[in-house]
Homo-oligomer: A and B are copies of this chain.
Amino acid sequence: MSLCYQTHFNPVAVKPSASRRPPKRFLVCNLSVPTSAALEADPAPIFTSVKTFAPATVANLGPGYDCFGCAVDGLGDHVTLRVDSATRAGQISISEIDGFGDSGTRLSKDPLWNCAGIAAIAVMKKLGVRSVGLSISLQKGLPLGSGLGSSAASAAAAAVAVNEIFGRRLGVQELVEAGLESEAKVSGYHADNIAPAIMGGFVLIRSYEPLKLCPLKFPDDKDLFFVLVNPEFEAPTKKMRAVLPKEVGMSHIVWNCSQALALGAAVIQGDVRELGSAMSSDRIVEPRRAPLIPGFESVKRAALEAGAYGCTISGAGPTAVAVVDDEELGLAVGAKMVEAFMKDGSLMASAVVKRLDRVGARLVSSVV
């Protein structure tokens, strides 16, 4: 059974001023569904187990550094969550971690130090779960530290699993808040992976205090493919942050704001050419980080020469992401990028071509 989580994303009317009709919204901000008051404390589970999936995400997209991200289809993590009498009531355990590479040995099974565990605990707290113990089995489909939102995918799948097993009582906003607790502990207080991992599509984080999430809808009738090229190289995350400038001069700020403005317009319009052009044009973050990824400059050049509309670093890297509007072209672009990583970075790399994920974290199956 596949149950689309999308139902949660229906626009929720945000209190319009009394005198005016609420306008049709596209930036549905403050998605919070005010469910908390209606929640009974300590709810009973409606399933004995659920399986969920959450997609990989591409954060930053150039000038959208630390505020913008999107989900990609067909890559991600699965969580199986079970009501578990062997786990103390109100608590969670992690029974198993397997999947991509050595994820199983590198990730902690202590739920307080595992991104899926932290997110699950945060959701249980919001729901007021006290009488039921749960156990998580995490199946990693994403490499760690690749710049594809690996920790966010685990957190999103776990948060949604807990919510589903108790009858889907929380709204999107609460789930993102729960996931953000996990991200804050594991990879930094930023929502540009966890928000699209939960909500799907493109999501802009307009503010953190309060958390204001704005999905930007890419038109259904337009095609958008991401060419994701992951080299066998672990980006030194600390260095990736440390290399950022403390302060930036006005000319670069004006430039990046201009590209960000174009990026927002291009997403709504479904203009992949301009989306790519804007994504490729960051003058603040990418120029500092690119030199830390061997061969990246050549990889980007190869992508553009092969016909991609744009190319940048996915998240903090090392994955390089290019955009195209045609799958076959994407495969050709990916091959050239892999070649360039080897030629100029001496790195083995693999390429996949994936569509935009428009759904986000979702229930895959459930057992009553």
Contact = CB atoms under 8 A, between A and B. Distances in A.
Given A257-B256, A262-B264, A273 B23 contact: yes
B23 A307 contact: no
Nearest to A23: B273
A248 B246 contact: no
Contacts of A63: 257, 261
A363 interface: no
Contacts of A17: 307
A364 interface: no
Kindly state the interface size class of chain A when it binds its partner. Answer: 35 or more
A66 B271 contact: no
Interface in A243-299: 244-250, 253-269, 271-274, 284
Contact of A248 (B66, B214, B253, B267): B253
Contact of A27 (B248, B265, B325): B265
B266 A27 contact: yes
A65 B256 CA distance: 11
A117 interface: no
A337 to B, nearest CB: 17
A245 B250 contact: yes
Given A67-B257, A248-B253, 16 more contacts: A23-B272, A24-B271, A25-B274, A26-B274, A27-B269, A64-B258, A67-B254, A204-B258, A214-B262, A216-B265, A246-B249, A247-B248, A247-B250, A260-B260, A264-B266, A265-B265
